[in-house]
Structure 1
Amino acid sequence: MTLKSLLAVGLLPIALIACGAPEENAAPPARLVQVETVELIGPQRRYEFVGRVEARRSVDLAFQVGGQLAVLDVTDGLEVAEGDRVAQLVLDDFQRAEREARVQLQQAQTNLERQQTLFERGIASAAARESAQTEYDLRVVALGNARQNLQNATLTAPFSGLVSRVLVDDFAVLAPGQPVARIQDLSELRISIPIAEDLIATFNADDLVSIEASFTFLPDQRFRLEPRELVSEADSSSQTYRGIFALPANIPANILPGMSATVYADLSSETRRPGHVHVPVSALGYAPDGSPIVFVYDDASGTVMRRTVTTGELTNDEIRVTAGIEAGDAIVTAGVSALQDGMAVRPLDAPATRG
């Protein structure tokens, strides 16, 4: 054997040993994972309506008795206080009827007293006394009616408000119940919006997140509304229902009934209300004791930490988490069964946002 052969045979075990030696200090590669950031669930449904401003109350004032109009104290756009006189009829006939009823009552009272005296002396019968009593009672009622008619001949404002329209002319002859003036209570302005029947059928008061109104003459401003009532009778022509909401009092404009507004309503479904956190079902794992867990990603260390959570109802491919994580946490949403606490991972791409 030559020297070259001996050297080759001698160096072969050394080469084999060198090639087969493992790297003792090599760290395992970081596992690729999908990471998403948890956020609070926002509104799921947004609606836009055309609304109309309404007064809190609107009343057409009318006399309960008929007669000729003598005084009309109001004009369109006039503000009135509760109890202020709005109009008055000619009072002559009503005053005459009141005096006549008063005289007849005095006569009936005199007759009743005479019949009572005669009955006590045994001269008049009980029937005569009862007839006089009946006549007296009728005259009491007649005087009350006459005084009420005299009072009703003067029309006053039932509340403080704005006279939006005068409906009669001076010195007109009015029938009972004929409207004289329309008064609107502006102590609280409201907005009425039409709501379709399919939305009414599925609406839940707890679903309302926010409702706001805007006006074209106040650009870039929205005003929060407060629910007041829902009219349960549908409009005969449009088959829609009316929702009524109150406007705030501090709007920097002269808002009047009849103005139009755009109303924005944000609704959330019952299982996705604001304040709830939902995660994909694929993000959920289970500890050896059966408790649900998720793995929270720490960007600073590049590792994941196991965290026990409390879960709620399941909706499609998501589950509600009521405790354990909060908005802003980054969680692994795929392959959690292969993860361990403290394991080094690398996000598959830029963290997505879950809302």
Structure 2
Amino acid sequence: MPLLSSRGLSRYLCITASICSLLALSGCAEEEQPAHVPPRVAFVEPLQRMDNGPEALRFSGVVESVTSTQLAFQVPGRIERILVDEGERVEKGQPVAKLDDTDYELQRREAEARLRQLEADLVRKRALLAEGILAPAAVEPLQANVVAARVARDSARRDINHSTLEAPFDGVVARRLVEPDMVVATGTPILELQNNQHIEVTVDLPETAALSIPLNSSLQAEGELVIADLTLPLHYKEHSTQPREGSRTYNLTLQGEPPADYNLLPGMAMRVRLQRPPAPTDDKQPNFRLPLNAVQTAPNGSHYLWLAVDGQAKRRDLQLERIEDDHAVVSGELDDDMLVVVAGGSKLSEDQPIKAERRK
């Protein structure tokens, strides 16, 4: 490098200092100018106060028959006739099947003939007893035989009556289990009869619903048939006190009157609406209902949510009252129509700029 004069060296140092000053100023300018960060999009919904009136809870239900009974003869024999068809409506006391009663008729006639003979003998011996010809001991066995003969006659008449099978209640013939000319034993199922005076609807009741609805005669319910435009009132009948195996649901049985224009058959699906009475209110804090994913949990176990206020995220503490399916019931320093962030709340921070958008 060639040597510079003192004047040239001074000029060189001045130029170098100027360049360094310009570079330093440029760097400071870049550091002072912040990068533009767009606000985060936040989906919001207005916070709504819970209605203090009764609330309708909806569940799936299944139609069942109140009474389903297999009818059988009380005596054995050969089936002579089946008097009804499947699906036929029958009334209480109506004959539905008949056995061949020839053998029972012969037994009745034999029992009546023996009874007549013994009664005639008893009349003659009582006359001889009155004349003093016979002793009382000779008449007493005959009296006992007459009583036994009357029992045999009554038993034969009963067997004849039992050879005709009658419907024990008004209902519908669900199934025919035998055919004519079959020989059946006592108690062999002949027909399956279902009660058509009432229907039952069973519902699997979750724990939260079982906790808050009246499980007694004051329960208000309504059923809607899935496959038809049909609704009918239902009333409480009974409920289980043990949960179903493998689940946390309880069986609730409702009862109703079947409509005349529809055939409600066991197994049909219904939508069931149960009326939950209004929850007790206090003057301190109202309850609000909002999507469950809007509720955030702090490390200490407390709960909070994010509000959209003037384009910024604002944290608000709350009290989680209960969970209902995919919604939460909360209380706290909240007001109607606050805009609550319902998605992406875990990534927000206090005063963070956000762009509030309603879900479509």
Q: Normalised by the size of structure 1, how large is the TM-score?
A: 0.58
- State which of 175, 181, 202 in structure 1 corresponds to 2:191: 181
The residue identity in structure 1 corresponding to 2:105 is Q
Q: Write out aligned runs for 1:45-84 (5 A).
A: 46=57, 48-49=59-60, 51-84=61-94
Q: Which secondary structure does the structure 2 equivalent of 1:182 belong to?
A: strand
Task: Quote the residue 1:90 is aligned against.
Answer: 100
2:137 corresponds to: 127
1:78, distance to aligned residue in structure 2 (A): 1.7
* Alpha-carbon distance change, 139 to 57 in structure 1, aligned in 2, over 3 angstroms: same
Q: Which residue of 1 aligns with 2:16?
A: none
Residue 278 of structure 1 is matched in structure 2 by 282
- Judge conservation of contact 2:69–2:193 (CA < 8 Å) in 1: yes
Give 1:29's aligned residue: none
Distance change (3 Å), C-alpha of 1:206 and 1:247: closer
Question: What letter matches 1:173 in structure 2?
Answer: V
Instruction: Look up the SS of the partner of 2:192 in the other structure.
Output: strand
Query: Using the alignment, how far apart are the partners of 1:233 and 1:120 within structure 2?
Result: 75
Deviating above 6 A after TM superposition, structure 1's stretches of 4 or more consecutive aligned residues are 196-203, 231-241, 348-352
**Offset, 1:106:** 0.6
Residues 208, 265 of structure 1: 8 Å contact kept:
no
Q: What is the aligned partner in structure 2 of residue 339 from structure 1?
A: none
Is 1:259 the counterpart of 2:268 in the alignment? Answer: yes
User: Does the CA contact (< 8 Å) of 2:118 and 2:142 recur in 1?
Assistant: yes
In the TM superposition, residue 187 of structure 1 has moved relative to its aligned partner by 2.1
State whether residues 216 and 236 of structure 2, in contact with CA within 8 Å, keep that contact through their aligned partners in structure 1. Answer: no
Matched position secondary structure for 1:102: helix
> Partner of 1:225: helix, strand, or coil?
strand
1:208 and 1:266 in contact (8 A); partners too: no
Look up the SS of the partner of 2:156 in the other structure: helix
Unaligned runs of 5+ in 1: 1-35, 283-315, 319-332, 335-347
Match of 2:164 among 154, 164, 180: 154
C-alpha distance in structure 2 between counterparts of 1:230 and 1:193, whole Å: 9
Question: In structure 2, do the counterparts of structure 1 residues 266 and 64 end up closer, same or farther at CA, with 3 Å as the change threshold?
Answer: same
Q: Is the contact made by 1:54 and 1:191 (CA closer than 8 Å) also made in structure 2?
A: yes
Q: Deviations over 1:69-113 (max 9, x none)?
A: 111112211222333321111111010000001001111211222
CA distances 1:1-44 after superposition (whole Å, capped 9, x unpaired): xxxxxxxxxxxxxxxxxxxxxxxxxxxxxxxxxxx98953444x
Distance in 1 (CA, whole Å) between partners of 2:159 and 2:225 is 47
- Deviations 1:124-170, CA, capped at 9 Å, x for gaps: 22222221111111111110000000111011222332111101012
SS of 1:280's equivalent in the other structure is coil
The CA deviation string for residues 202-221 of structure 1, in whole angstroms up to 9 with x for no partner, is 874469653232332137x6
Unaligned runs of 5+ in 2: 1-47, 287-318, 322-331, 339-360
Q: Could you report, residue by residue, the CA deviation over 1:234-288 in whole angstroms, capped at 9, with x for unpaired residues?
A: 98998976533223444864321232323343434xxx54xx6532169xxxxxx
The percent of aligned pairs where both chains have the same amino acid is: 27
The partner residue of 1:113 within 119, 123, 145 is 123
Aligned positions, number: 249
What is the correspondence of 1:214-293 to structure 2 with a 5 Å cutoff?
Answer: 214-218=224-228, 222-230=231-239, 242-250=251-259, 253-268=262-277, 273=279, 277-280=281-284
- Tell me what 2:154 maps to: 144
Instruction: Say if 1:169 and 1:38 are closer, same or farther in 2 by CA, change over 3 A.
Output: closer
Q: 1:251 to 1:214 in 2, by over 3 A?
A: farther
Structure 1 84/239 Cα, relative in aligned 2: closer, same or farther at 3 Å?
farther
- Return the letter of the residue paired with 2:117: Q
Describe how 1:321-340 pairs up with structure 2 within 5 A. Answer: none
TM-fit CA distance, 1:231: 6.4
Q: Supply the AA of the counterpart residue of 2:255.
A: A
The aligned counterpart of 1:304 is none
- For residues 286-311 of structure 1, give each alpha carbon's deviation from its aligned partner in whole angstroms, at most 9, with x where no partner exists: xxxxxxxxxxxxxxxxxxxxxxxxxx
1:40 counterpart residue number: 52
Q: TM-score, normalised by structure 2?
A: 0.57
